[in-house]
Copies of this chain bind each other. A is one copy, B any other.
Amino acid sequence: MKDFPGTPGTLTGLGLRILQCIFAASAITAMATTSSFFDFTAFCYLIASMGLQVVWSFGLALVDAYALVKKDVLNHSFLISLFVVGDWVTAILSLAAASATAGIIVLLTHDLKGNHCLGDCQQYQVSVVLAFLSWITIATSSLIMLWLVAAG
């Protein structure tokens, strides 16, 4: 198994996981502090999806940190396969949630006439940008993990 930047148990891998957590948690905060997110199914789904992202990335950040401290190499094929599946599932859910939210924000701010955000437009937009940033970092991790498995 090759060892390149971003693989589990490396400093870049840990950095990616921490970034995923920060972006996802910030997206949740920005969305959950609006006054009317619970009126929109997609906005609730964004919070759920980002919540899953935080839990998953935080768990893997702990594993990475443990491996770094113990100077252990995480190359058990079962563990890596588990990471690949989890990374891909969370990456797909994050992109779907961010896109659905973005679609609704464009509808509210552009397609429909009048003020439909009740003053929360900007906060919705910040949340969706953070969700996309979170997706970019988890997609990077997913590609690295898949490459790792395929390259054997």
- 0 or 1 for each of A55-82: is its CB under 8 Å from B? (1 = yes): 0000000000000000000000000000
This chain: how many copies in the complex?
Answer: 2
Stretch among A9-17, A19-27, A92-100, A117-125 lining the B interface: A92-100
Q: Verify if A31 is at the interface (C-beta below 8 Å from B).
A: no
Q: How far is the CA of A102 from the CA of B146 in the complex (A)?
A: 28
The one of B99, B101, B151 that contacts A150, using a Cβ cutoff of 8 Å: B151
* Residues of chain B with a CB closer than 8 A to A103's CB: 41-42, 99-101, 103-104
* Residues of chain B with a CB closer than 8 A to A40's CB: 107, 111
Q: How many chain A residues touch B (Cβ–Cβ < 8 Å)?
A: 24
Q: Which residue among A40, A92, A96 has the maximum number of chain B CB atoms within 10 Å of its CB?
A: A96
Q: How far is the CA of A111 from the CA of B101 in the complex (A)?
A: 14
Name A's B-contacting residues (CB within 8 A): 39-42, 92, 95-97, 99-104, 106-107, 110-111, 143, 146-147, 150-152
Q: Which residue among A99, A102, A104 has the maximum number of chain B CB atoms within 10 Å of its CB?
A: A99
Q: Are B150 and A110 within 8 A (Cβ)?
A: no
Q: How far is the CA of A92 from the CA of B99 in the complex (A)?
A: 10
* Residues of chain B with a CB closer than 8 A to A92's CB: 95
Q: Find the B residue at minimum CB distance from A152.
A: B151
| CB within 8 Å for A107 and B41 given contacts A95-B95, A100-B102 | yes
Q: How far is the CA of A13 from the CA of B143 in the complex (A)?
A: 22
